[in-house]
């Protein structure tokens, strides 16, 4: 079996194999040099329409453009015969193109050039063809002269006024008008049909006019031609008889046929006569009218804009009025001119390659496929068979193509309704290997990163590419390397030892070519000291670090962004190698600062946030409870605040002690304490305060802009106190710490609380406390300190005792004796010396005093005033008179001084004194405040 049919079976099988095998073709790179050198058969780029109607008043231009290498030459055929363009003085061919231009300036009739034209573009490798271009000159003839008799009809009868426009090219557009150039109103009864005639389903008396005129508009000449008008006379009768419907269009039998081509417009028309005017309905047999169906002209016309096969079938129109109903069937047949299923494409093949060209078209009837080579019919099997190609139906199979067999193939798919012509070239490309990329490229890569060494190449047949390092080895691939078909070599992790020169070598049967790529492996660029989040008081200086480590051979650039926008340095900001300095911090400086370090191959970034803090004065002695927190106008402070430390130290680092700067007016700048500073080091955070006319004891505190806690009020009972305060923190955003100190042993307790008011329970009866509230978030934002005393539990008994008369008497006597003793004592002392210093010196110092011991506090220099602490209120007046000027300051009130620092110092002490006196009505004084913050 196999012996018999062997060769035949084999050849069929190999044919099938070829058919199924992927079409192989070379992908030619878009590289300019390659494209320049690429020999290519012609390709038609532009041509005129198959059905080409020209305006006789213009020059005729028939287009034909093609590209190819070498540039194609052009020739024409007219009506199947060679058209000698050079011999006709009216015809010129455009340069580097086949486009014809026919000019009639020197006479001649355009009609003389009507015909079928075809352009041929040829070069050494083949010939491409255009379609057959049927050239026709547009026509807009006049209406024939005619005499139209008046039309006389009886009312109620039907009427058709014929239009019969002259046969123009392309056909004109028709419409009906009267002598006033008003269009005739169209309605269910009166309308124009597809052929241009005017149909009256029934005539009414009002239709009597002398000026029914059909008009034809010609598209090319933009002219309108008018037919002689009709005169219509209607004979009226007393009563118009009702009549059944009767078709005016279509005429004849009750069915008709219609043929339409796929993709074209279908219009079906049914116009009926009758009294009353019949209405028209459409049906399609065996289904509904689909979405594509449109009804025009008062349902008298059915339209489908683009017909497809499924629109074929029997359409029915029904006309009915009160009298009767009639119908007409139209059998619609859909045919199709050829249309593409698979259009052949240009092929660029290497020598000995196999491939195929496919040309598949459909149509109704089924199109015939005809192949041409360079415009000539392909030789039939009878004459000289070409072993390297065979035609199988709609496919040409190429087998082991040979150099020199380039050609342009034409496929003509035709049927009764038209043809499709496609050109596709087969180009056999032979090219020795070429390198397409830059020569001797330098690639830099960060150590341990992946990299690609590119070596784009081309050649035909496609060359084989191999990589070598430092001119050695047997082709790099596998392991650490991977060679791709596009010529790239991947190095998965570049190590220092991978540095070197790599060679890529492309080789095919026509030759070889090589290129080199040098690889350098670099250290990564890293930010080793990143900027840190920080807070700075307005007016101070902030500094962000950005220290970089990078490969010494890689230049780097450091750029800063603020809130992701480029930071313009201006005159204020300073950038140096390792940092960014922002002197004199403004509120607008708040934001996120990003340091970006870039080398040509990598980059690193780091960000940190700057928070700008505000200064506040908080008043200490405002008895009315009014808070005088204001922004200082004449205060200048310069200090550097470290970034927010952990909560335990934050109070220390953001609160400013006023201990060091009581006398100077100048601004001092201090160095940044390390971020790890603990409470014990806070005394080294000095600050300078200069104040003007703030009358009350003011203290400077670092704060978040605008946030305050004030009006702290305490309503104590025996073992609890109602505590309340005002603040302007956003609702729910903040929690507070309530800190209270038992006076007797100095024990400090702190409880976290939410929103005021709160009840502070568990207090000792009859004990003295100091209390303040501060923000959990910003420890420096604190209320004043309020001192209060819980009531004693035994107060009831006391009242009972006090009510006794004997007790009152005894008490009065004791008081009198003490008073006398005191007066005596006082007079004695006044004579002895001005200050009762020594006696009172032993009074226990408040917590405040310890602070003074470092000597920087002016407080101790005022020890002389201490005695006042022991004084009774009742004696105050007397003491004051003999007291030194400090007391006077206290009484002096606002406005007396244009204070400098020195004043503040003294002033502060005065207030402190008031505090220690236990003056109930005074608010906690600011120094105390400050010191608590420091604690």
Ligand X SMILES: *[C@@H]1O[C@H](CO)[C@@H](O)[C@H](O)[C@H]1NC(C)=O
Please give the residue ranges that form the binding site for ligand X (CB under 6 A): 131-132, 188, 279, 281, 295, 298-299, 370, 412, 414, 419, 421, 446, 449, 452, 454, 484, 486, 488, 601-602, 625-627, 710-711, 715, 717, 722, 726
Output 647 or 757, the one with its CB closest to ligand X: 757
- Collapse the DSSP code of 516 into the 3-class scheme (helix H, G, I; strand E, B; otherwise coil) and give the result: strand
- Collapse the DSSP code of 148 into the 3-class scheme (helix H, G, I; strand E, B; otherwise coil) and give the result: coil
Shortest reach from residue 49's CB to ligand X, in Å: 13
Shortest reach from residue 830's CB to ligand X, in Å: 42
Q: Can you tell me the distance from the alpha carbon of 446 to that of 449, in angstroms, rounded to the nearest whole number? A: 6
Output 484 or 794, the one with its CB closest to ligand X: 484
Q: Can you tell me the distance from the alpha carbon of 840 to that of 913, in angstroms, rounded to the nearest whole number? A: 13
Shortest reach from residue 92's CB to ligand X, in Å: 24
Q: Can you tell me the distance from the alpha carbon of 836 to that of 818, in angstroms, rounded to the nearest whole number? A: 19
User: Would you say how long the chain is, in residues?
Assistant: 935
Output 311 or 454, the one with its CB closest to ligand X: 454
Q: Where are the beta strands (DSSP E) in 657-777?
A: 698-703, 709-716, 721-727, 736-742, 748-753, 758-760, 768-775
Helix axes 901-916, 926-934, angle to 10 degrees: 90
Shortest reach from residue 622's CB to ligand X, in Å: 7
Output 134 or 683, the one with its CB closest to ligand X: 134
Output 329 or 414, the one with its CB closest to ligand X: 414
Output 367 or 461, the one with its CB closest to ligand X: 367
Q: Please report where in the chains the tokens 């006789």 appear, as a residue.
A: 56
| Other C-beta atoms lying within 10 Å of the C-beta of residue 133 | 22
Are 775 and 755 in contact, with CB atoms under 8 Å apart? no
Shortest reach from residue 603's CB to ligand X, in Å: 8
Output 522 or 910, the one with its CB closest to ligand X: 522
- Collapse the DSSP code of 530 into the 3-class scheme (helix H, G, I; strand E, B; otherwise coil) and give the result: coil
- Collapse the DSSP code of 341 into the 3-class scheme (helix H, G, I; strand E, B; otherwise coil) and give the result: strand
Output 104 or 452, the one with its CB closest to ligand X: 452
Are 355 and 426 in contact, with CB atoms under 8 Å apart? yes
Output 342 or 430, the one with its CB closest to ligand X: 342
Please name the residues in contact with 288: beta carbons below 8 A apart, sequence gap of 6 or more.
Answer: none
Shortest reach from residue 322's CB to ligand X, in Å: 15
Strand order in the sheet with 542-545: 542-545, 579-582, 574-575
Shortest reach from residue 289's CB to ligand X, in Å: 9
Q: In degrees rounded to 5, what are phi and psi of residue 663?
A: -120, -20
Are 134 and 51 in contact, with CB atoms under 8 Å apart? yes
Torsion over CA of 655, 660, 665 and 670, rounded to 10 degrees? -60
Q: Can you tell me the distance from the alpha carbon of 466 to that of 506, in angstroms, rounded to the nearest whole number? A: 7
Output 534 or 929, the one with its CB closest to ligand X: 929
Q: Can you tell me the distance from the alpha carbon of 472 to that of 470, in angstroms, rounded to the nearest whole number? A: 6
Give the chain's end-to-end CA distance (angstroms, integer).
111
Shortest reach from residue 460's CB to ligand X, in Å: 19
Half-sphere exposure of 411 (CA within 13 A, CB side): 26
Output 264 or 722, the one with its CB closest to ligand X: 722
Q: Can you tell me the distance from the alpha carbon of 666 to that of 661, in angstroms, rounded to the nearest whole number? A: 9
Shortest reach from residue 601's CB to ligand X, in Å: 6
- Based on its alpha-carbon atoms, the radius of gyration of the chain, rounded to whole angstroms, reads 54
DSSP assignment of 898-925 equals ---HHHHHHHHHHHHHHHHTT-TTSPPP
Shortest reach from residue 375's CB to ligand X, in Å: 9
Beta pairing partners, 228: none
Output 525 or 659, the one with its CB closest to ligand X: 525
Shortest reach from residue 392's CB to ligand X, in Å: 20
Q: Can you tell me the distance from the alpha carbon of 908 to that of 902, in angstroms, rounded to the nearest whole number? A: 10
Shortest reach from residue 731's CB to ligand X, in Å: 17
């Amino acid at each position: 079996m196999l012996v018999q049919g062997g060769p035949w079976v084999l050849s069929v099988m190999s044919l099938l194999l070829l058919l199924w095998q992927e079409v192989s073709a070379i992908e030619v790179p878009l590289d300019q040099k390659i494209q320049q050198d690429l020999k290519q058969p012609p390709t038609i780029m532009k041509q005129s329409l198959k059905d080409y109607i020209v305006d006789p008043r213009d020059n005729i231009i028939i287009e034909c453009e093609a590209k190819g290498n070498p540039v194609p030459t052009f020739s024409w055929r007219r009506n199947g015969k060679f058209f000698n363009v050079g011999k006709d003085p009216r015809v010129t061919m455009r340069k580097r193109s086949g486009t014809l231009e026919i000019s009639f300036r020197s006479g001649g009739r355009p009609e003389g050039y009507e015909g079928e034209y075809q352009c041929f573009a040829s070069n050494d490798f083949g010939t491409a063809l255009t379609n057959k271009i049927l050239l026709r000159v547009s026509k807009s003839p006049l209406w024939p002269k005619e005499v139209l008799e008046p039309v006389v009809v009886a009312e109620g009868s039907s009427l058709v006024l014929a239009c019969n426009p002259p046969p123009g090219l392309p056909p004109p557009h028709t419409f009906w008008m009267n002598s006033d150039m008003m269009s005739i109103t169209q309605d269910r009864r009166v309308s124009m049909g597809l052929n241009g005639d005017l149909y009256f389903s029934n005539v009414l008396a009002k239709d009597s006019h002398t000026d029914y005129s059909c008009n034809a508009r010609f598209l090319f000449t933009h002219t309108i031609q008018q037919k002689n008008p009709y005169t219509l006379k209607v004979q009226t009768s007393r009563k118009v008889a009702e009549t059944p419907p009767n078709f005016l269009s279509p005429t004849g039998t009750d069915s008709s046929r219609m043929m339409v081509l796929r993709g074209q417009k279908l219009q079906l028309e049914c116009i009926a006569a009758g009294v009353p005017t019949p209405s028209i309905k459409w049906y399609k047999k065996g289904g509904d009218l689909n979405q594509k169906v449109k009804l025009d002209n008062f349902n008298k016309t059915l339209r489908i804009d683009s017909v497809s096969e499924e629109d074929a079938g029997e359409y029915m129109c029904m006309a009915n009025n009160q009298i009767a109903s009639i119908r007409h069937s139209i059998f619609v047949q859909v045919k199709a001119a050829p249309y593409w299923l698979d259009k052949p494409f240009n092929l660029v093949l290497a020598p000995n390659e196999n491939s195929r060209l496919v040309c598949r078209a459909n149509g109704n009837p089924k199109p015939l496929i005809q192949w041409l080579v360079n415009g000539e019919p392909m030789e039939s099997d009878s004459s000289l068979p070409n072993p390297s190609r065979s035609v199988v139906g709609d496919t040409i199979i190429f087998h082991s193509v040979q150099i020199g067999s380039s050609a342009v193939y034409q496929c003509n798919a035709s049927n009764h309704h038209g043809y499709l012509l496609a050109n596709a070239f087969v180009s056999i490309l032979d090219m020795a290997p070429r390198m397409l990329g830059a020569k001797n490229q330098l690639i830099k890569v960060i150590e341990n990163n992946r990299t690609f060494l590119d070596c784009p190449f081309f050649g035909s047949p496609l060359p084989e590419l191999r990589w070598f390092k430092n001119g050695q080895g047997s082709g790099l691939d596998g392991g650490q390397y991977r060679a791709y078909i596009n010529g790239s070599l991947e190095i998965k992790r570049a190590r220092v030892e991978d540095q070197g020169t790599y060679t890529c070598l492309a080789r095919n049967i026509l030759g070889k070519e090589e290129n080199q790529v040098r690889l350098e492996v670099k250290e990564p660029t890293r930010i080793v000291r990143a900027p840190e989040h920080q807070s700075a008081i307005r007016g101070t200086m902030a500094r962000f670090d950005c220290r970089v480590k990078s490969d010494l051979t890689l230049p780097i650039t450091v750029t800063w962004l603020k809130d992701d926008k480029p930071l313009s340095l201006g005159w204020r900001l300073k950038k140096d190698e390792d940092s960014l300095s922002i002197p004199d911090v403004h509120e607008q400086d708040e934001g996120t600062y990003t340091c970006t370090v870039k080398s040509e191959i990598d980059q690193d970034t780091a960000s940190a946030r700057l928070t700008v803090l505000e200064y506040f004065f908080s008043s200490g002695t405002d008895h009315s409870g009014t808070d005088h927190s204001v922004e200082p106008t004449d205060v200048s402070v310069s200090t550097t605040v470290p970034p927010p430390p952990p909560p335990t130290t934050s109070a220390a680092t953001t609160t400013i002690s006023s201990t060091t700067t009581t006398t100077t007016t100048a601004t001092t700048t201090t160095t940044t304490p390390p971020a790890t500073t603990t409470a014990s080091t806070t005394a080294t955070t000095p600050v300078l305060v200069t104040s003007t006319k703030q009358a009350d004891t003011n203290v400077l505190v670092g704060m978040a802009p605008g946030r305050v806690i004030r009006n702290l009020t305490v309503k104590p009972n025996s073992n609890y106190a109602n505590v309340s305060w005002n603040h302007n923190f956003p609702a729910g955003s903040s929690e507070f710490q309530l800190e209270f100190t038992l006076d007797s042993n100095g024990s400090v307790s702190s409880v976290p609380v939410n929103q005021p008011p709160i009840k502070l329970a568990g207090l000792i009866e009859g004990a003295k406390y100091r209390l303040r509230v501060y923000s959990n978030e910003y420890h420096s934002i604190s209320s004043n300190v309020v001192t209060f005393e819980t009531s004693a539990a035994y107060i009831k008994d006391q009242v009972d005792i006090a009510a006794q008369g004997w007790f009152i008497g005894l008490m009065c006597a004791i008081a009198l004796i003490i008073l006398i003793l005191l007066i005596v004592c006082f007079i004695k002392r006044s004579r002895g010396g001005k200050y009762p210093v020594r006696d009172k010196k032993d009074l226990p110092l408040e917590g405040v005093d310890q602070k003074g011991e470092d000597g920087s506090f002016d407080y101790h220099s005022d020890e002389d005033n201490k005695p006042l602490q022991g004084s009774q209120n009742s004696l105050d007046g007397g003491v004051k008179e003999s007291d030194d000027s400090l007391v006077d300051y206290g009484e002096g009130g606002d406005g007396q001084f244009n204070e400098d620092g020195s004043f503040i110092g003294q002033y502060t002490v005065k207030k402190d004194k008031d505090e220690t006196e236990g003056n109930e009505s005074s608010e906690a004084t600011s120094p105390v405040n400050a010191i608590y913050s420091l604690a």
